[in-house]
Amino acid sequence: MDVIYQKILVTGGSGFLGKVVVKKLQQRGCRDVIAPRSTDYDLREKNDIIRLFQHARPDCVIHLAAVVGGIGANMKNPGSFFYDNAIMGIQLMEVARQFNVQKFVAIGTICAYPKYTPVPFKEEEIWNGYPEETNAPYGLAKKMMLVQSQAYRKQYGFNSIYLLPVNLYGPGDNFDLESSHVIPALVRKCIEAKEKNQKEIIVWGDGSPTREFLYVDDAAEGIALATEGYDSSEPVNLGSGQEISIRNLATMIAECTGYQGSLVFDSSRPNGQPRRALDVKKARQMFGFQAKVALKAGIERTVAWFIANRPHLDGSSSSLAAGSAR
């Protein structure tokens, strides 16, 4: 797909990832990018979706909007996380089909993988077990778009693709400790502990789980490349290929923030999935994507952004139906 001549609707286009995706499309010469606000269109309501499509008449939809959060937020809101994400994806793709959209780019989540998927996670393993319990409702809701994509391609010839990004981070992330993911949460904790001369900070879990992280600019580039050059409903991972334990991650963040106190791991808190790391060969083979930003460099940029923007952060960056994506 030549994005220059397309009208592209980016749900969640004003969110963390969405802003960067919109920028990437514009850098490619796309002059007609629509990024609706949740205050104007609630994507959980089908009538709002229809009204949006009647107004925008998009050629392509990139669906980034989601209700998201870390382990705590997932455990506190399993019902709403399941319903809101499932209903958005199902209705958006159906309305896109009815409006003869040329391409639908569905953004899934690594949380869709089974709890004990062999590392590195290969796309063909996605149905071989139940997801990790703390975020299974969210992961399964997003996974339904994969089912829908494949079913619609088979029955209607509808061109949709499904991407599985690993945990994202970077400038502009959500630093609200009630709903943030691990990197922004630890960045904020370390900086505030340093300012207050606190001797220790608490880290959830025992530090043993591993994770893989993808810098937001890299993720946006992968989505743009797939939009341009991938046309199959078989899922594709988007990741960096670098696995790190939470203990080593916390140590790295403490170093990047200059925090010299102790890291205390609270094993009474849930660890989440034991290991997460993706096989990223398919994205490179199918549409030439390879992550460029190393984890430490990305964390340093994230720390610098947070310090520079703290006066403007209100701590209320919770996810809304049309305004945020991770």
Catalytic residues: 138
Is there a contact between 68 and 317 (Cβ–Cβ < 8 Å)? Answer: no
Rounded distance, CA 140 to CA 108, Å? 9
Q: Kindly tell me the sign of the dihedral angle through the C-alpha atoms of 106, 111, 114, 119.
A: positive
| Amino acid, res. 31 | R
Is there a contact between 132 and 76 (Cβ–Cβ < 8 Å)? Answer: no
Rounded distance, CA 181 to CA 68, Å? 9
CA proximity to 12, closest of 40, 37, 30: 37
Residues with Cβ within 8 Å of residue 82, at least 6 apart in sequence: 137, 138, 140, 141
- Give how far Cα 33 sits from Cα of 30, 94, 115, 226, 252, Å: 7, 21, 37, 17, 37
- Give how far Cα 196 sits from Cα of 64, 99, 125, 249, 313, Å: 37, 55, 46, 22, 19
How large is the greatest C-alpha to C-alpha distance in the chain, in angstroms? 62
Residues with Cβ within 8 Å of residue 231, at least 6 apart in sequence: 103, 159, 161
Q: What is the 3-state secondary structure (H, E, C) of 33-59?
A: EECCCCCCCCCCCHHHHHHHHHHHCCC
Q: What are phi and psi of 165, to 5 degrees?
A: -75, 145
Rounded distance, CA 165 to CA 163, Å? 6
Cis peptide before 36 (omega within 30 of 0): no
